[in-house]
Structure 1
Amino acid sequence: MKLLTLPRAFSRRISTGKVIDNVCGWPKPDYGPMEVQRSELMNGIRVAAAKPMGSYMAACTIMFQAGSRYEIDDQIGATHFLRAISSCTGCAYTAFAKNRHLQQNGASLTCTSDRQSISYTLRCPPTVYPELKYYLLDAATRCCFLNWEIDDRRALIREDLHRIPPEQRLMDILQSVMWCGPLSNSMFCVEERIDSMTADALDCFVKTNFRTDCCSVASVGVPFEETLKLAEKIEARRERPAPRCHMLSCARKGFEYYDLGRCSDTYIALGVPGCGTCDITNLLKHAIIAAACGVGPLAMGQHSTDNTPQPPLGMMVGGDPHTFYKAFNISYAETGIFGIVAKSRASVARMVTQGAAEFLANVGELNFKQIDIGKKRLKVNMCLNDNNCVNSSESLALQLANSVQLDNCACTLGLIESISNDEICCTARRLSHLSPCTAVAVVGDIGEVPHDQFLVHRI
């Protein structure tokens, strides 16, 4: 599950290194500051290419704003199938030929999706990109949806439903109960829909939502001209399509659970309405608040007990190594979720849930010192996660989709510093006032967790 969160969403800096040679006449990297070239085609496709400071690997992403929120009627579960069949036969290449050739060249082709978008990313050495880019184009825009391949993937999708980690299942349930509308659609195809999914339904979803005005193409370590040529091959027509109708989702409070049996480890998530990606400054405020609350323990050794808790959330754990808390912020185009996730043993799940609810209700009491620490944590986390070409490419495509321009990590760090602590405190107090609208999701021993109405009275 790829979600719109910071630091992964809006700031990546290209890793330093040295290109092996200069095949195909491509210019050698100059090791200067990262440059990003942008353009927009007449049909609405947005294109960007980051000039690296030197890298052994390149990445190119084709992203469509066509996540699970756009599934309707018989298309429910389509994005899960699209992820599963992304390696299947296309109009130009068979699945065997693509996968074998990619492996022989040390490359990979991945497909990830969330409720907002779906991304196809090619990762390969820069020298073989001119040849392998057609595999990316084949997977993203020219899949055949052969019935026998879809039937083969049904068993894989059933296995996916059984392999969902508890925390990922928890977040999927929370977002389903949080929204009334398209954002309540799950990222996974439910068991009842697996056998009824057809090639016609998938083809209809793709033709309806894989639109040029909802498409962005971004690359890292690939010349801008090559990226532009790839974007031009996605759609030959130059006309921009008519605007797509958007169905908005309304926030609601509720309680939903998934039972893992008695005495099982219990995961609890509490969320309130957050912010969308349309306002980058507001998004950064929410990210700073989440970092100021603490985003989980800092590992200091090889074992789960070798960690240092990040205050103030980390101090709520006490001496229990089996319990943890962390704050999170998830953003979509126009809205989002801010909340707290907790994990504990079943015997103390009630106390942990009450503590998380009370903390969320009082998040507006963060002081300036804690906010300054949150800014530092966010900056460090951004720099630590700034050297992956795939993440950088997907981040750049996401920036294009949201009309955001952050060419390098320094731009984002400066933007964080420019936000005053007073503004962040006001945002935190607004989140506190939304606590009566808290949505609750539980995965684990549901008998040990208090109901949402009890939590509201506690707050």
Structure 2
Amino acid sequence: MACSAVRSPVLRNSTIRHYAAAAAAQCSSVTTPELQVLPSNRVTVAALDNTNPVAQVSIIFRASSRNETYDTQGTVHHIRIAAGLSTCRSSYFGITRNIQQLGGNLTATTDRESIAYTLQITRNHLDKALIFLEDVTTQQVFKPWEISDQLPRLRYELSMIPETIRIMELLHKAAYRTGLGYSLYSPKRQLGKINTETLQHFVNTWFTGSRCAVVATGMSLSDATQFASNLKVGSEDNITEIAKYHGGELRKERSSELSTVAVAVEAAGLNKEKDALAYSVLQRAIGSGPRVKWGSSVSPLNKAISSGTNTDQFALSAFNTSYSDSGLFGFVLSSVPNVAGSITKAATEYLRSPKLSDADIVRGKTTLKAEILYTVDNDAMYLENMGQQAIIKGRVYKPSDLVAEVDKLTTAEVKSVAGKLASGKLSMAAIGNLCTVPYVDELK
């Protein structure tokens, strides 16, 4: 078994959800998944009975770090680490041993709005393995001695967080402060303080039927529905607080040979689908990194910064993340300290007023459409996309339909959302040697 704080790279680029990937599911040549909401426990079920010999079943709860409080920060990190520990019906050893004997794989993944438990196993062993998936997701007991045994693993994960992940965690904290601002990783001060009662209370409060989805491939809707109907989930309908964007700045100075900076403004959430899609096109039009492995980027953003600062000693990429009711649009850069300040100022100036031709926007649309269709090629990503759509949008999209929506976007509509960046309040995060990095109030 394994667990991860972030999902697959196409859905998450440094823990970021791109709207197109969150909405993409399957191309037109693939059978459309069936979807149903169970009246008994209000669990959403989506299934695709394809010919894949490996079945995949994922139980997703719309509950994560966003639902924590100041005193319970780190709870979801602990819950993710606890995936596979002893339950009401099975021991830690029993779950691990049986999944291994059946040739299966059980993983837990989180983002800021959801946690997913996913089982992958050959179809002939699916019935036997589903018992343990149900145990792990709905029968937790969080024994104190098992939770304390996980502390070394928690410390190891915290020590191994990449700088690109750290900068995004810091940026979200600066932008939202609470809610979406709470990190996917437990603060060090919380290690050893999150107890059984805290974990069980979180599960009982947020792991409810109305916030749950069961998605499957290689499994019929009737079988998935029967499995989902037996899940013991709560009946409460707790409401998540609406995200509030504040803007601001957080800096962490370290002895480092690099400066890493992220700057963003508030963008559209998934509740504004057309704007979120336009921001996705804009990101790819501006430049989201090189398209050739080990190659350099020739995006408008990189060209503008290189010509304006007369240096190429940096790596720079635009990013866009859309959550259910808010989002961030901006850039992340890493450079040598002596030019980090000039690059940050030049990139912020470009962010405020992107200079794009019609051809750039057409290229952005083409890139986005390709990414939507590529999601079908990866089984794990395919299932994950289905789950994200079911839990957030309450439906499953056909890639061909989403591609058609991208085609409908006009150049004027993309430039319209680009124009909103000029008036947005800036959020900024910086890590490393910050000798030349400006403060947020010094950026235009």
**Same fold at TM > 0.5:** yes
Measure the CA separation in 2 of the matches of 1:328 and 1:215. 29
Name the counterpart of 2:242: 248
Name the counterpart of 1:134: 131
- Residues 265 and 426 in structure 2, CA contact (< 8 A), matched pair in contact too: yes
**Counterpart amino acid of 1:253?**
G
Name the counterpart of 1:447: 435
Measure the CA separation in 2 of the matches of 1:127 and 1:313. 51
- Residue 270 (str. 1) matches residue 263 (str. 2): yes
Deviations 1:313-366, CA, capped at 9 Å, x for gaps: 232357966522111111221111111111112232112211221111112x43
SS of equivalent residue, structure 1 residue 66? coil
- Residues 75 and 199 in structure 2, CA contact (< 8 A), matched pair in contact too: yes
TM, length-normalised to structure 1: 0.88
14, 22, 32: which is aligned to 1:9?
22
- Residue 97 (str. 1) matches residue 94 (str. 2): yes
Name the counterpart of 1:76: 73
**Counterpart amino acid of 2:185?**
F
Measure the CA separation in 1 of the matches of 2:312 and 2:433. 19
SS of equivalent residue, structure 2 residue 224? helix
- Residues 296 and 326 in structure 1, CA contact (< 8 A), matched pair in contact too: yes
Structure 1 residue 32: Cα displacement = 6.2
Name the counterpart of 2:200: 203
SS of equivalent residue, structure 1 residue 386? helix
**Counterpart amino acid of 2:435?**
G
TM, length-normalised to structure 2: 0.91
| CA shift in 2, pair 1:283/1:185, >3 Å | same
Deviations 1:407-446, CA, capped at 9 Å, x for gaps: 4321211111112221111111112321xx1111012112
418, 423, 429: which is aligned to 2:408?
418
341, 348, 358: which is aligned to 1:357?
348
Q: Which moved more, 1:120-129 or 1:403-412?
A: 403-412
- Residues 35 and 50 in structure 1, CA contact (< 8 A), matched pair in contact too: yes
Measure the CA separation in 2 of the matches of 1:406 and 1:322. 43
* Structure 1 unaligned residues grouped into runs of 5+: 15-30
Aligned residues: 427
- Residue 65 (str. 1) matches residue 54 (str. 2): no
| CA shift in 2, pair 1:407/1:125, >3 Å | farther
- Residues 104 and 119 in structure 2, CA contact (< 8 A), matched pair in contact too: yes
**Counterpart amino acid of 1:410?**
S
Structure 1 residue 189: Cα displacement = 1.0
Deviations 1:138-190, CA, capped at 9 Å, x for gaps: 11111120111100111111111111100000000000010143222111111
- Residues 44 and 394 in structure 2, CA contact (< 8 A), matched pair in contact too: no
Name the counterpart of 2:302: 314
Structure 1 residue 259: Cα displacement = 2.6
SS of equivalent residue, structure 2 residue 26? coil
**Counterpart amino acid of 1:400?**
A
| CA shift in 2, pair 1:166/1:236, >3 Å | closer
Deviations 1:38-78, CA, capped at 9 Å, x for gaps: 100123211111233x3232211111111111112542210
- Residues 102 and 108 in structure 1, CA contact (< 8 A), matched pair in contact too: yes
RMSD over equivalenced CA pairs, Å: 2.1
Measure the CA separation in 2 of the matches of 1:32 and 1:293. 31
SS of equivalent residue, structure 1 residue 328? strand
SS of equivalent residue, structure 1 residue 349? helix
Structure 1 residue 117: Cα displacement = 1.0
163, 166, 173: which is aligned to 2:163?
166
**Counterpart amino acid of 1:49?**
A
Q: How does 1:329-344 map to 2 (within 5 A)?
A: 329-344=320-335
**Counterpart amino acid of 2:323?**
Y
Q: Which moved more, 1:354-363 or 1:165-174?
A: 354-363
Name the counterpart of 1:46: 44
**Counterpart amino acid of 1:390?**
A
- Residues 12 and 387 in structure 1, CA contact (< 8 A), matched pair in contact too: no
Q: How does 1:320-399 map to 2 (within 5 A)?
A: 323-363=314-354, 365-399=355-389
Structure 1 residue 229: Cα displacement = 1.6
Task: Provide the identity percentage.
Answer: 24
Deviations 1:246-270, CA, capped at 9 Å, x for gaps: 32232122111223314x2221110
